[in-house]
Amino acid sequence: MTTELTELTAVELLDGYRRREFSPVEATRATLERAEEIQPVVNAFVRLDAEGALARAAESAERWRRGEPAGLVDGVPVTVKDILLQRGAPTLRGSKTIAEQGSWDEDAPSVARLREHGAVFIGKTTTPEFGWKGVTDSPLSGITRNPHDPSRTAGGSSGGSAAAVALGAGPLSLGTDGGGSVRIPASFCGIFGLKPTYGRVPLYPASAFGTLSHVGPMTRDAADAALLLDVIGVPDARDWSCLDRPSGSFTEVLAHGIKGLRIAYSPSLGGQVAVRPAVAAAVRRGVERLAALGAYVEETDPDFTDPVDAFHTLWFSGAARVTQKLAPQQRELLDPGLREICATGAGLSALDYLAAVDARMELGRRTGRFYERYDLLVTPTLPITAFEAGVEVPKGSGHRRWTGWTPFTYPFNMTQQPAATVPVGNDGDGLPIGLQIVGARHRDDLVLRAAHALYGTGDTSPGLRPAGS
């Protein structure tokens, strides 16, 4: 039963609780055992809380026994990226510069909503220092590895969450995404990841990376992500930039399908990106499945050139800001790559920053016009599959920073659009390939509908075990 329970989605677990086939305590115990099993292999967690999790699970089991669940995810095991505040657990953000001592008495908005809905918190997952790069290693917790091949990276910056979900250590996880940090590791690890429209999920404290940073679901499939978004996608007074309540349930729209939707398919952003043949072929097959399901698909490209310079200005400035108050001896503890971009960011002027804002606004204008003609855009999530662990860029790639191999992800943080990654197969080494679905701002529902439709066609779940298990 232990293995069975760790393979179930949140929707399936809830159905089992409802039918009294098993209890939240059994599911939580199985999840904790799984987390302990995978930790030496992939290093997905910075801490596990077995005692607290089992106590919450017991409370949930009693509510289910009475037929009075507390909310939409009562009793479901959940993990939280160690960027987000969680009451009773230190939030160290992958950094040796943050002291573990403290009251830690406040939840981030998304964590608070999960607590209200009865979720069972299993543990905090790994992140690179302050979430600064697209792979997950940090001076604090070391390297997080890919569940398909531990010699490869899990991606980042929500790499611990992706590895945990992929290997059955909780079906739901909260990640953050400032330039692809939900979608990159979800793609590399073969799970579903959604960056909602900016403001759909409130964020507190505000990110130093400003309005680039989103909170999003990392799950086994699109149905679980819709469920999680129904829980966390509501306003919180601490975030002045959050959106109003959605008009309906994201779960309820999944059944609407995609017949008649206008989908633009851009295999390489107009030739700007060199995509590996195995990735290109798998994504094209996914697009063909969307067309077979009744969508109108046209191969075309959005009207923009790579905005990496403007993104770097915004990103490096944010990094400089997050470390601004550190003493010189604390700076010596930082990830060397982070220290480097902080120095670059500190040297930028206000006019440099405003020029990047202008570039961002122009990008938003161009994509806004593009979505007057199309409902969705489909691209590869990444042009490559997972590379060697412990490095920021693939060896021999010629890239200087992680943005060199993530050209499909960060533009849509700049435009604040919803974007998801769906697994659509593996390459010749058995490494997952992701297909990215991007919607217009506020059309998270369409992104989830298209992703859910792909899950209905099969070939989206690798079904794996960690090497050596």
Confidence (pLDDT) at 462 = 42
Q: How many residues does the chain have?
A: 469
Only one residue has tokens 């050209």, namely 407
pLDDT mean values, one per 10 residues, the chain (469 residues): 83 98 98 98 98 98 98 98 98 97 95 98 98 98 98 98 98 98 98 98 96 98 98 98 96 97 98 97 98 98 97 98 96 98 98 98 98 98 98 97 98 98 98 98 98 82 43
Confidence (pLDDT) at 3 = 53
Catalytic residue positions, numbered = 81, 157, 181
Domains of the chain in sequence order: 2-237+248-455 (3.90.1300.10)
Confidence (pLDDT) at 464 = 45
Which tens digits make up the pLDDT trace of 86-102?
Answer: 999 999 999 999 999 98
Q: Which of 233, 137, 131, 142 is nearest to 182 (CA)?
A: 131
Confidence (pLDDT) at 102 = 85
Contacts of 17 (CB under 8 A, 6+ apart): 23, 24, 64, 69, 74, 75
Confidence (pLDDT) at 47 = 97
225-258 CB burial, b ≥16 within 10 A, e <16: bbbbbbbbbbebeebeebbeebeeebbebbeebb
CB of 48 within 8 A of CB of 123? yes
